[in-house]
Amino acid sequence: MTESEDPVDLVSAALRANPLDFAGDIPDLRTRFERLGARPDAGASREEALGDVPARRFLPRGIAADAARRAGAVLFFHAGGYVAGSALGSSGLASALAAATGRPVISVDYRLAPEHPFPAARDDALTAYAALLDAHDPGEIALVGASAGGGIVVQALMAMRERGLRMPGAAALVSPFVDLTASGGSYRINAERDPSLTRRGLVAAASHYAASGPPVDPASASLAGFPPTQIHVGSIEILLSDSIGLAARLAEDDVHVELEVWPRMVHVFPTFAERLVEGTEALRRIGAHLDRWLSAPA
């Protein structure tokens, strides 16, 4: 394989050739973002509602619905900078997550900014989780989020703890976008290395989401009582410092946390698992994490 055929280089080149401008026209961004994450061969899924929140359920291939239901549930929150994305548009990652974990994945169609700023998406997460508790014990549920979806998971867990709600059994985050000030060191260090994100774009997206008031910054809040959490991030991401800072904060509050930094990987690299073996391995490790901490066996 020549250097030009390196899968990592090919994915990075494709992202650079078709950049997503989170500071640009939002309708255009949403259309292009849907095309990036949707997969026509994602497998069977169906629409459902969790309370009044729309969602889409993805079942692991080859596993009967009853057996999958006994394996608990993964509540998934898609990427999109808080302003784009959908359950159907993230079908590739959601279905891959179902296959890797052996559990049903319920992808939440949370409300998007700027039409619905914070706390709308976080409150949708709380509503969806409460609805799942009608069918599952908390220890059978995992919360998983990618990019902004990872931020929503953290915000929801903080709200659960403050309200005295029962925590899920585990959490897993991929390239979480939690620093809405975009002030971490990697925003500067990786500015030229990251092929898909810019600080300008993320600041614009964060301003839409926080228009009615920002969520509590996890860097300055207590995260004690969080469930065991696994974090995956690429070394060239401008969001690298978000993951490092969050892992450190969890560790300071005596939460079991595992941080996996993947060399040369792009933002939410498991999206490209069909091309990147690292993406497949990261999904496998998320599955192992859930196997370890959830009370329902896959």
Find out whether 176 and 154 touch, Cβ atoms under 8 Å. Answer: yes
Q: Which residues contact 77 (CB under 8 A, 6 or more apart)?
A: 107, 108, 110, 125, 143, 144, 145, 146, 148, 149, 150, 152, 153
- Type of residue numbered 281: E
Alpha-carbon span 230 to 144, nearest angstrom: 9
Find out whether 221 and 126 touch, Cβ atoms under 8 Å. Answer: no
Active site residue 90: no
- Type of residue numbered 209: Y
Active site residue 78: no
| Whole-number Cα distances in Å, 11 to 17, 39, 73, 142 | 10, 16, 31, 29
Q: Which two tokens stand for residue 206?
A: 């964060």
Find out whether 204 and 267 touch, Cβ atoms under 8 Å. Answer: no
The number of residues in the chain equals 298
| Whole-number Cα distances in Å, 292 to 191, 228, 297 | 36, 10, 9
Q: Which residues contact 270 (CB under 8 A, 6 or more apart)?
A: 93, 96, 97, 146, 174, 232, 276, 279, 280, 282, 283
Q: Which two tokens stand for residue 59?
A: 């079942």
Active site residue 147: yes
Which among 107, 267, 278, 289 is annotated as catalytic? 267
Which among 237, 241, 243, 260 is annotated as catalytic? 237
At 152 the three-state DSSP class reads helix
Which among 91, 147, 175, 243 is annotated as catalytic? 147
Alpha-carbon span 189 to 295, nearest angstrom: 41
List active site positions: 147, 237, 267
